[in-house]
Structure 1
């Protein structure tokens, strides 16, 4: 199902994308993945709750209503209206980190107890570490929400937001998530790991969305951000940033046949992960994911980082900026990345040799990719693998072609991606 656009067709498509036609909420809920639109088209396609009966169509505006509506495996459509905050009690009243703390946990006591100058460089243990873990469990009960199979969740209007929520797409199939803002799924109780990275790190739970053991999932026209807790503004303890966020979107544990399209991913350090362990050999033959027409905006790393899967990354815009930046594409263990016609907008002095990093990969195909500087000037071609290998001669990647993508909706020329940031994210369906 491979289609290449002629210059005339590319211009026509760009013109159409510049002014997307509005759609009624009811129409959005019944829409299915278009024919051939990435890996989620394989295996029978992705229809979500399009076949839902009238009694299984819900419009929700509270956390309790949302939790109830998304449960179960019967076909259903859930329209989300307005802002839903997962950090709320059953009666709708707001909950703070202090409300989740149990067994005497306070951040101040934890910092005092496990300061390496006091505790040393051993893993935290004892009553305060146990209290931290117990407090984390209390928060998890409130902010983790599980989606059933055969579900479409769609935002109504421009102001729909799921804040503080860890949305789990676990061991299900046929799910569509569209026109939503996922913001600030923060962990009130990060744990200190003195052995992480050689100098220790703070680690937290809760991705905005975690797709685990699931298949045929379409994630489209959503916005992902840190809300009022941007990572770059977090304090440092023990010489490391106090990280309260995990990933924006993780696709793990043999998940398969996923399309991620037209989303805006903003400002996260460790953003997008496919496959969470080199040793998870059950991921072989799975983790087939397509990423297209997304805006990766000021991300620090993992856009995406890939293990095992056959992953097609095409026609995305990368705004490479900020102090968090380390790399964009991560070629991990047994990864099969096919990176095609993406545009990298280099800012803040960042250079092409950092766009790709080898995390134990062997080969990667990169074709038709381009760079520009500060959103201006002409687009010039870039050979991602050659740039990486020149900068890392002791850890090179090959370019063996091990597979060819079968599913796309037409790969545009890279210069047509200028201005893509105005077409991605929630509110632009």
Structure 2
């Protein structure tokens, strides 16, 4: 092990030991009978730690009795542990669990033939003016439904899912937190699902596009959700490894995390989002005002966005508080970090951006629709930069309004921007939880 890695490891252990001792002492003083202060599965979201701490707060399955503490090592065991309704439960994940270990061929509907699909819908044959239809498209859809059934897991209310140790997580899985309250997900490496059956849409853009399903995690219409110390990645299947058909990337990834359709009161802290294109979407449609207006309140703090092309995040409707995050842009292909969308009210403060040579800070903000934004005390390549001023100066056709119109109050700690790269680099992501 290198001297630097040894130093980082020792620093982490010392910091964690100090936190554990402090938590244990505090808990013992308050309740001598409680013994779980240092157990990540029993930890709850601290007070004032982002939007998920509002109201009743977020406790997940901390109150679970012994019968409802599950240790799982397979996808089947994991899904079985989830079935027990809304009873408080803790699910401890040991090792890396594959949701799609059977391979794509196992999901194929009888008669589906990808070579025939390519031949039938070749733009030279099908054209570009209408969506695909017919036998092979129907069989592709049936195959996709089989994969969806196999790789999707629905998380019930009052649940904590926590990885054990430094190497716990899922490959090929889509965790759905849908229509429930009070969920915690911590210390997992989530390798993005690989869609076996993307759909060709010849009408998508000027040249058509392949569209895929399956986010690594979706918060859909749920409340009080804490997503902490996880690593989201494309893992063994980065976009650079994917083929091209009809001249377009055969896109087999969707997002890493989506927070959509009336979701509310979410805190995402100390996560790593890595090596992905369209990464984090908050609000999925401009037309979803009936469900999303006055909701989609999300806090993002102390996260590392590394080699992310865009959507870090893209926001619609929500009051989103993004502070103390570190954005390390890719050497090639960077589009933007913060997407300012329909009726959004983003506050982005004391974040740090590391941009490659030749990339202007004006690109950090992207205006999709007219909406005010607060962007104060952010640093780019080690220096303070007024992101709105530089954006408006270089992109007058996309002039942004200042002042999101609200002031975040639920912040448990705020660090100086110069400390963020080291702090987040050493402590964010799976395997680094105290």
Q: Distance in 2 between matches of 1:110 and 1:385?
A: 47
The reply on whether 1:82 has 2:95 as its aligned counterpart is yes
Match of 1:91 in 2: none
Find the residue that maps to 2:79 and give its secondary structure.
helix
Find the partner of 2:388 among 369, 378, 385: 385
Find the partner of 1:37 among 49, 55, 58: 49
**Unmatched segments (≥5 aa) in structure 1:** 1-14, 88-93, 373-378
Give the C-alpha shift of residue 142 in structure 1: 0.5
The reply on whether 1:103 has 2:110 as its aligned counterpart is yes
Instruction: Tell me how large the CA RMSD over aligned residues is.
Output: 1.7
Give the C-alpha shift of residue 231 in structure 1: 1.1
Find the partner of 1:302 among 311, 318, 329: 311
Superimposed CA distance per residue, residues 123-175 of structure 1 (whole angstroms, 9 cap, x where no aligned partner): 11000110110000000110000000000000001110211001000000100
Deviates most, 346-355 or 256-265: 346-355
Q: How many matched pairs?
A: 403
Contact kept, 8 Å, 1:272 with 1:302, in 2: the verdict is yes
Find the residue that maps to 2:214 and give its secondary structure.
coil
Contact kept, 8 Å, 1:234 with 1:242, in 2: the verdict is yes
Q: Could you state the TM-score of these two structures normalised by the residue count of structure 2?
A: 0.90
Match of 1:428 in 2: 432
Alignment of 1:7-26 (within 5 A): 19-21=14-16
The reply on whether 1:342 has 2:348 as its aligned counterpart is no
Q: Distance in 1 between matches of 2:293 and 2:12?
A: 36
Moved over 3 A (4+): 15-20, 22-26
Contact kept, 8 Å, 1:191 with 1:203, in 2: the verdict is yes
Find the partner of 1:162 among 157, 170, 193: 170
Give the C-alpha shift of residue 16 in structure 1: 7.8
Give the C-alpha shift of residue 83 in structure 1: 1.2
Contact kept, 8 Å, 1:224 with 1:265, in 2: the verdict is yes
Match of 1:192 in 2: 200
Contact kept, 8 Å, 1:269 with 1:324, in 2: the verdict is no
Contact kept, 8 Å, 2:192 with 2:256, in 1: the verdict is no
Q: Distance in 2 between matches of 1:26 and 1:69?
A: 23
Match of 1:238 in 2: 246
**Unmatched segments (≥5 aa) in structure 2:** 1-9, 21-35
Q: Distance in 1 between matches of 2:279 and 2:264?
A: 19
Find the residue that maps to 1:145 and give its secondary structure.
strand
Q: Distance in 2 between matches of 1:422 and 1:113?
A: 51
Give the C-alpha shift of residue 233 in structure 1: 2.4
The reply on whether 1:116 has 2:119 as its aligned counterpart is no
Q: Could you state the TM-score of these two structures normalised by the residue count of structure 1?
A: 0.91
